[in-house]
Amino acid sequence: MTAPADLLIDAANEIAIRQKLALVALGKLPADRALRVGRLLDVNGRNWHDDQEIVISGRRIAWVGPAGAYPGEVGERFDARHLSAVPGFGEVHKHIESSHLTPEHEAALVLPYGNTWTCEASHEFSNVNGPKNLEFWLTARLAGSPMKIFPLPGSAVPPTAYEWGGGHFGYDEQQSFLKQQLMVAGLDEVMDWPAVWNPENPSYERLWGMIRATFEQRGVVEGHAAGMRAINDINAFAAAGMASDHEAWTLEEVQDKLRRGLFMEIRPHSLPDIVKGLLAAGQQDWSQFALCTDDRSCSDTLKMGATDHNVRLAIESGLAPEIAIQLVTINPARHMRLTPWVGSIAPGRFADIVLLDDIATLSIAQVWADGEQVSEGKRYIKPVPSIDWPDWATHTVNIGRELTADDFAIAAAPGRDSMQAALLRPFHWDDDFITMELPVRDGLVQRDASRNVTKFAVVDRFSGEGKTAKMFWLGTGPKTEDTALACSMGHDKHNIWVVGSSDAAMAKAVNALRQSQGGWALVRGGELVATVGYEVGGLMTCRPPEALDAEMAELYRQGETIEWMYEPTFSPRWWPGFPERLAFATLTCAPWRWVLVAPSPLAPEGFVNVATGETHSIVW
């Protein structure tokens, strides 16, 4: 069965669609349906208009104006005069993979919350299967999902020159993606800042090739300026062509970056302080801002909502509802150069409409997408497309052997009863690693639970060899004996990471993920006690969110029976307790320095300073 031509944005089909829309708008061809609303927000001018009609042809809007004024025939009419209409909400920067649902199930989850389009920052699946990246993101849409996904191929593929496997994007790949499909909006967040400014960095040519291809096709180069506070660096970042940043945490950082022309994408955790601070400082023009989810699990979405949560938080922080709505509609659409298709209730755009029964609290009664009602309250009312994801999506954990405790052992030098060891801790941004003397027993360097020292490892899941980098970490992982936690989601390369109190438990947990093709595995007392399945890409599941949420709840329940290490100096937001955030502790982008990656030619032991390229022994 051939998918309808108007699901994607193809230049040839687009002309035919718009030729028809013009005739429908003039009343020379009949419209499919008309939706009458009590009030309609024109986000282009930030004005409300009373008693309006939205006339729809196919999946698009053909005409908008006063009720009763449309000159043509209409197939169906819908009366929502008790509701107020605003455009479908868009995500300017989001990793759908972080919901851990495949796109068709994620769409069914977030559409009732108003999210009808997403700019997908696709370096997660790109790092698992780069060649199939675009096909993956368009599959759900071609199967009939009403969610519009605008992929941005990942700049971080691989994240640094010290990582490999799954995908490799440069000039040729980016040029091909942009030419293949108009829904490709640009280049995903450029994170490896040292590789952008430093011509001697081994990723310099690859990254500038992707930036060049994006400029050539008039795409948007998205930025990632985590930890960037110095004025010289911000100026250089903007001068290099980065158009945005979603990593700002403070008011002063936002103001400094805004002044240098960066489009500011504000995430929920820093949103209240930033919005309140900007309002107190007299900010008048909000056109250079958007609200941004970035990463949110399906469990958290079920609890708090999707894009609507971000808007509601902005309103609660003092922003006028109309401005807050602009920050998830017209502003991100303008920034991503998508205004012909999304961002406003206007002719030519997809007929994506959020109907509110209360504006001040952003209470959503219905959501329309592709010209049809898709939700009632918080309930998605359309069928979820059934997709039989192929092997390239479901067989991505390629470890061709059973791992053993020996794969995680760290050998001591002959005749030594102690060794110096290099240690990291989660989110270790310091210039230098930690050094500690550790005991030796039976020729192997040992953990030291009394000092909160455990073992952390990254296992290559791409080559088939199961190459393992291991070292000691401080203040994370289990104190309970013979216990380990492993996961196939490890930003951003997504090799398997594992933390454990014994080498045998670490091997058992990784072998469980080898069998399941990804997810979580928890071993306690030498026994596998909980698993969560991410069978698609090792990042997502092709199941309803409720099923995944229940599985995660069981993982947490089992995790509560284990004693976990922590350091009191760590932020309580991440620690103590179940170390789920270790999935982000394998990040290798700025401002990280020393990191652990799977063994590679430039980092044979996996321990490398990604800012300088320096490597170091794990023990000596």
Provide the pLDDT for residue 383: 97
| Sheet of strand 148-152: strand arrangement | 89-94, 115-121, 148-152
Provide the pLDDT for residue 12: 87
Whole-angstrom distance, CA of residue 200 vs CA of residue 193: 13
| Sheet of strand 444-445: strand arrangement | 444-445, 434-441, 418-424, 468-474, 453-459, 496-500, 484-487, 519-524, 527-533
Q: Is 149 helix (H, G, I), strand (E, B) or coil?
A: strand
Kind of pairing between the strands at 115-121 and 148-152? parallel
Q: What's phi and psi for 218, nearest 5 deg?
A: 60, 35
Whole-angstrom distance, CA of residue 618 vs CA of residue 620: 7
Provide the pLDDT for residue 575: 55
Kind of pairing between the strands at 363-369 and 372-376? antiparallel
Provide the pLDDT for residue 1: 43
E strand segments, 460-518: 468-474, 484-487, 496-500
Cβ atoms < 10 Å from Cβ of 28? 11
Q: Splitting the chain (620 residues) into consecutive groups of 10 residues, what average pLDDT does each group show?
A: 80 94 98 98 98 98 98 98 98 98 98 98 95 97 98 96 95 96 96 95 97 97 94 97 96 98 97 98 97 96 97 98 98 98 98 98 98 98 98 98 98 97 91 97 97 97 97 94 98 96 98 98 98 98 97 96 81 64 88 93 95 96
- Name residue 251's amino acid: L
Provide the pLDDT for residue 570: 53
Residue pLDDT, tens place only, 396-436: 999 999 999 999 999 999 999 999 999 999 888 889 999 99
Structural contact between residues 256 and 232, judged by C-beta atoms closer than 8 angstroms: no
Provide the pLDDT for residue 2: 60
469: nearest Cα among 479, 456, 482: 456
Provide the pLDDT for residue 332: 98
Instruction: Give the chain's domains with CATH numbers.
Output: 1-87+343-372 (2.30.40.10), 89-342 (3.20.20.140), 393-609 (no CATH)
Residue pLDDT, tens place only, 160-187: 999 999 999 999 999 999 999 999 999 9
Residues 6+ apart with CB under 8 A from 285: none
Kind of pairing between the strands at 263-266 and 244-245? parallel
Containing 33, the helix (H) or strand (E) segment is strand 31-42
Whole-angstrom distance, CA of residue 573 vs CA of residue 105: 29
DSSP one-letter string for 94-119: E-GGGGTB-HHHHHHHHGGGTEEEEE
